[in-house]
Amino acid sequence: MSIYTFLRSRPAIWRLVASVRDLPGFYWLWTRWFRNSTLHWQRHYEHGGDSGPGSYGESALYKADLINRVVRDYNIQSIIELGCGDGNQLGYLQVSQYIGLDISKVAIQRCIIRHGQDPTRSFIRYDQECFHDPLKILSAECAMSLDVIFHLVEDDVFERYIINLFGSARRFVIVYAVDQEQARSVHVSVRLRRYSEYIAKVAPEFRVILHVPRVGSFGDFYLYERHLTRESFDAKANIR
């Protein structure tokens, strides 16, 4: 557990740290240091950071319980996760095959150290600028995104991520993140979005079949399933 995660797990200490960080002078320096979300997370792991409190402790157990129930109920055999972090959350999951992608080389190296002896777990560095997979080489029965979307502060990065996420899913998609629009960012590396509305526009063939609303500090949990539209059904019929 990194110092960051330790501090975040102590609410009283974290409130003090956050109050100092958000002072005008300190926040100005923080915004100057922050260039983009990709570089931010690469530096975060290079400087000893981990996946954060959402992948540890109570939050990790909460997400694992939901995911494992979905895996059992829908007999999901494989998952591909875009933004796997350091692999700590994976230790709680029960799925036959897993592919983890992350923008951080250090995070992927940690995943390999943690889970590399398991032949059913694969890890690949993800570079959005160099990701083009129309053959669906990198795909699974279920694609998954956990606590990633609100860290994608740039519109183009967010939009490409959603396209790649749903494009790598053969049937299901799991999304876990707070689903609400926020006019003013409370942190330079956080931007809350009503992502469910955007997904409905760009991936209409996927429908929500399960939504566990946000409770306390936990985010919204969505399970999407691919449904054939009339157009896609007709296209498949014509192929036959």
Of 171, 177, 170, 181, the closest CA to residue 151 belongs to 177
d(CA 240, CA 139): 24
- Residue 84: CB atoms within 10 Å: 31
Residue 107 has pLDDT above 60, yes or no: yes
pLDDT of res. 234: 44
CATH, range 52-239:
3.40.50.150
Of the listed ranges 34-38, 101-105, 189-193, the one predicted with least confidence? 34-38
Q: 90: pLDDT confidence band, cut at 50, 70 and 90?
A: very high
- Percent of the residues in the chain that have a pLDDT greater than 90, as a whole number: 55
Compute the average pLDDT of residues 3-8: 54
Give the model's pLDDT for residue 48. 76
Smallest CA-to-CA distance from 218 within 162, 158, 178, 171 is with 178
**CA–CA separation, 45 vs 53, rounded Å?**
14
pLDDT at 240 (0 to 100): 39
pLDDT confidence tier of residue 181, bands split at 50, 70 and 90: confident
pLDDT of residue 236: 40
What is the Cβ-side half-sphere exposure of residue 155, based on CA atoms within 13 angstroms? 1
Q: Domain residues of the chain, as ranges?
A: 52-239
Over residues 88-108, mean pLDDT: 94
Query: What is the per-residue pLDDT across 118-152, written as a single tens digit (0 to 9) for each?
Result: 999 999 999 988 999 999 999 999 999 999 998 88
Mean pLDDT of the chain: 83
